[in-house]
Amino acid sequence: MAGSTLHDGTTPLNSASVQTSDDAHGYYTPGENIVDAAAPTGPIADRWTTRKFENRLVNPANRRKLDVIIVGTGLAGGAAAATMGEAGYNVKSFCYQDSPRRAHSIAAQGGINAAKNYKEDGDSTFRLFYDTVKGGDYRSRESNVYRLAEVSVNIIDQCVAQGVPFARDYGGLLDNRSFGGVQVSRTFYARGQTGQQLLLGAYQAMERQVAAGTVQQFTRHEMLELIVVDGKARGIIARDLVSGEIETHLADAVVLASGGYGNVFFLSTNAMGSNVTATWRAHRKGAYMANPCYTQIHPTCIPVSGEHQSKLTLMSESLRNDGRIWVPKKAEDCEKDPRDIPEEDRDYYLERIYPAFGNLVPRDIASRQAKNVCDEGRGVGPTVGDFRRGVYLDFTDAIARFGDDGIREKYDNLFDMYARITGENPYEVPMRIYPAVHYVMGGLWVDYHLQSNITGLFVTGEANFSDHGANRLGASALMQGLADGYFVLPNTIRDYLADGPFPAVTEEHEAVVAAREQVESRIARFLSINGTRSADSYHKELGQIMWEYCGMERSEPGLRKAIDMIQQLKIDFWTNLKVLGTAESLNQSLEKAGRVADFIELGELMCIDALNRRESCGGHFRAESQTDEGEALRHDEEFAYVAAWEFGGDEGQPVLHKEDLIYTAIEMKQRSYK
């Protein structure tokens, strides 16, 4: 484990970076550096335990006087609502779906990591910590990641107690499998339905609190504005998506657990309703948006089949355990039936390039190599656009080892899903896969307590930036969501709530009235433009720009072009948008307009962030920064920092604040999986 030598956790192992390049000059305004004032010190293994003890307590009588709003009901939001409700706080839970159990966490397939070392293959809390920091290309905070690894073992116990049906081995013990970016088996799973089963566990725990009266549930409600009173988050403005009513909800603290923004690319593995509006509204109110350009491209998705599609389908990364990835060595073989291509004419390119990890390299590397072989003209499947977008994921060898029944036991629902979507039988013909936008590592900036730079606004799960760096390893999103919801937030938010009960805020307060008026005027503007184009058409055009110039490979000329195109798209959007219907009813056209408006602004910031960071790391690959072998090349001396962007106003430029990343437990190394 090169570079993983244990250090004392008190001595800095690197210096603060000094940026000398400035590709984004003219697109942003430099701001003051920031620090995580809540970050603990001391030996890394003691930091979370010490901090939990240091954080102040809230006695049960005072908890009953405190109100907390939680936006989002996925793993992070559902777990937080259940835990906060169980503790006795008054919780208001919001989701735009018709049921909390439809949150996008339900779509996760492959598994959840935990450093249990059940396989006795060398795993440990430190190894999970090390793999996660390395996998994130040394662009995450070490204190946050160590806490995540430490808490991971508690998550499994919690979920088993809730009845989550994890897979078990022949002896009845919980089973594990391996995932990309690691060489141990630490991933707990429930066939290909892990997200669904974990979400049902959190949902049932939350519904218990709904029945107990500590959690009040608001479905089909979308947060459209954050209420900030005297510098503190004190509530939200939400729209009832069925009646159209604009509602004001006040509280002592607000928690955003609203997921990621991958749908800025239009085509992604996210549910079509997934959006950035909750976090973007908070960003416009002053919350910093951190590392927005860090986007994860998942290597195992069903390829695009044509212009008609509005989303893409994920195939679990767990398939890379037994499936072998290859393309023909010769472009002229790409039209052949793969069963007719002899072994010597197949290029198992991941096994060839990365012999130590093979098909289990991290997602960013597997995705980029798939793009490379397809760009060379060796992609397979139907031609879409100007080339074939697909590589084979072949289970022939695994079926020979385990038989159809053995593969069916591991992956049956995934194989069935693939067959239903493509009309091809993966037991007989290799699957075809291609990378697609999946998860985002960027999000609102938070400190060690998960509190944003707006006092009283806490952010959990994919909505924050804190744990994954520039790349997320497989099976760590579910880990972070449940860690934040069950164990981290309840222990950190209490230090803030210990100052409560806070002075009451009424709906007549000028800041509350202003927030409501902002929402109402924005809706009125959408309805009054009366142009000729739908929100969907703008969303699709934005997605094409983002995928082409801010997707798997970015360059200075491409990003500059993208920024210009997005700025023109924004002007056209606000002059030629057509929204049908009224505000006083169910109106999905209106919903989409608000979400796309926010995506357009986010897309521009993502490109500026990517333009400024003239290095390659994780999911952010700049063409100007690569090794002779075409691997990502970091520049720690310039870019070992978190980019925290402040909203500069409608007519101003975004302001860049930097948080230096200083390591005390792990030395930064160039990643290698060879």
The set of catalytic residues is 363
Q: 312: closest CA among 107, 74, 477, 476?
A: 107
Secondary structure class of 414 (helix, strand, coil): helix
Given a contact cutoff of 8 angstroms between Cβ atoms, the answer to whether 469 and 141 are in contact is: no
- Residue closest to 179 by CA, chosen among 157, 164, 194, 160: 194
Q: CA geometry: angle at 444 spanning 569 and 86, to 5°?
A: 130
Q: Scanning the structure block, which residue is given the tokens 């590397």?
A: 365
Q: How do 29-30 and 655-660 pair as beta strands? A: parallel
Record the tokens describing residue 534, joined without a space.
């739908």
Sort strands 246-250 and 232-240 into parallel, antiparallel or unpaired.
Answer: antiparallel
CA atoms within 13 A on the CB side of 97: 19
**Paired tokens of 183:** 């060489």
Scan for tokens 């204190």, then name that residue: 143
| CB within 8 Å of 170: residues ≥ 6 apart | none
Cα separation of 137 and 508, whole Å? 48
In whole angstroms, give the CA distance from residue 317 to residue 482. Answer: 20
Q: Are 487 and 516 in contact (CB under 8 A)?
A: no
Give the C-alpha separation, 611 to 273, whole Å: 28
Mark 304-330 as b/e (b = at least 16 C-beta within 10 Å): beeeeeeebbbbbbbbbbbbbbbbbee
Torsion (CA) 219, 221, 225, 231 in degrees, nearest 10: -20
DSSP state string for 395-408? -HHHHHHHHHHHHH
- In the chain the first and final C-alpha atoms are separated, in Å, by 13
Q: Output the DSSP codes for 583-601.
A: SSS--HHHHHHHHHHHHHH
Nearest Cα to Cα of residue 218 among 88, 108, 81, 79: 81
Burial class (CB in 10 A: 0-12, 13-18, 19+), 181: buried
Please list the residues that pair with 221 across neighbouring strands. Answer: 240
Across 637-664, b (16+ Cβ under 10 Å) vs e yields eebbbbbbbbbeeeeeebbbbbbbbbbb
Q: From residue 620, give the alpha-carbon distance in Å to each of 16, 262, 315, 611.
A: 21, 14, 22, 10
The closest alpha carbon to 591, from 537, 540, 546, 536, belongs to: 536
Q: Of 368, 296, 295, give the one whose Cα is nearest residue 325.
A: 368
Contact 460, 76 (CB under 8 A): yes
